[in-house]
Structure 1
Amino acid sequence: MAGNSKCIDSMLKPELRSFLMARGMTVSNYTLAQLRELANKAVELGLPVLTTPDDTASFLLERCTVVVDNETVTFPVVVSPKLKSWTDNLSSLPMFCQADILVYLLGHASWSKERLKGFRKEKGYRLHVDGHVHTVELHSLTHDHIYVRAQCTRETSQSEKAYLTWCLLEKEMLVLCQQDVNVQVMMVLVSTLLPYCSA
């Protein structure tokens, strides 16, 4: 165990990242000291090297795929360099109101009435209210769809690089295309877009 710790203490950042990724751990936006601490914990817990392939690419591809008129359409992933027309002008968003959001949360997202009453406790809402969400942009796509993305500063380490939160929307109906979209993503984007709601 002590030998492993000495080995980890001598690793550089790229080596630590590889060491952790091989064990299925997230490594984005961590400092060298944080990576080293995670690596030591991995050794302490005896985390094995995973033999299963990374499914991140297939997961992203799934989030970018919709069915339109019985045709499966896969859009470029949100970080693709092919998407060159991002804009912070949100006036082209279709008109929607708070009732539309309520319908989404109660229907598609299966929120209970109790959860809806306590929406101010949701992490995504708090991130927006506390000013962690910024740089909201949209990108028009084919088949009447749009991407909406935003940068979100971490609560615990605000000096670290912000992370990207995003969703794929059907333009006319303004509904989320993914039924299993992360609730935090939904709350961040909904609370950010509320000022743009129609009256």
Structure 2
Amino acid sequence: MPTGIALRDARAQLLAAGERVLLRDGPAGLTSRIVTDEAGVAKGVLHRHFADFDDFLAALVRERIAAVGAMSVELSDRAGSGTVTGNLSTALARLFDPLGLALVRLVLYRDELRARLRPETPRGIPTLTEAVNSLADYLTAEQRVGRILPDAAPASLAQAVIGTGHLLFAGELGGLPDESAVHEVVEAIIVGAEPGAG
């Protein structure tokens, strides 16, 4: 049985190992045996920290959801500074980094995982739903300071930005988009919602 540091940090080791395996092998390659081997712990250690493998996977996704929540606060605090397009473009790059994309694929791949996450995300796709809410909150904050028109619909704009952003980062262009491609897509979506547009 592993002792010392390995046991004290086993939960964090397992989650970090799960992220590495997911990035390397994709959702189909993510098994409890491969994760425990990657973490360097006995298989039973995973079951001491998580009810079952889907509970472990749900913890991976919940960590990302928490990170999206933290990003949401930072993003809303930027209302009135920089440009709306620039702020949204930066947010998309953070949301759809390789791990973010891999977690979306994982959630779509495993029905049981989505079921486990329903209490936190009753509708939509976990991580994407929270991302939409994050951008909607930011756009609402920009609306309050006059950089988004009063009759614009922040939630609808956020859905369009996240949906299009996901397609773009998932390989719409045959690879990861560069900064100018992201900027161009975001600008095309929000241009009609900004004062002085048209």
Does the alignment reach a TM-score above 0.5? Answer: no
The structure number with the bigger radius of gyration is: 1
**Greater relative contact order (Cα < 8 A, sep 6+):** 2
- TM-score normalised by L of structure 1: 0.26
TM-score (normalizing by structure 2)? 0.26
Task: Kindly indicate which of the two structures has a greater share of residues assigned to strand.
Answer: 1
